[in-house]
Amino acid sequence: MKKVVGLLKKLKKKDVKGKNYNEIQNLSKEVLDLNTLLNNNILF
């Protein structure tokens, strides 16, 4: 999970002016939400 979040942060830095910025931001939020669920063992 940490690798995924790190990659998303790099993408956000590279594509700040791009059209995909909102999509990347939303995906990042989803990943963090999923990480929270995994940490709380809600999915298992």
Q: Is the Cα dihedral 35, 37, 42, 43 positive or negative?
A: negative
Cα 37 from Cα 26, distance rounded (Å): 17
Residue 39, pLDDT score: 82
Does the pTM exceed 0.75? no
Q: What's the token pair of residue 29?
A: 């939020």
Residue 28, pLDDT score: 82
Residue 4, pLDDT score: 73
Residue 31, pLDDT score: 83
In tens digits, the chain (44 residues) has pLDDT values of: 677 777 777 776 665 566 667 777 788 888 888 888 888 876 55
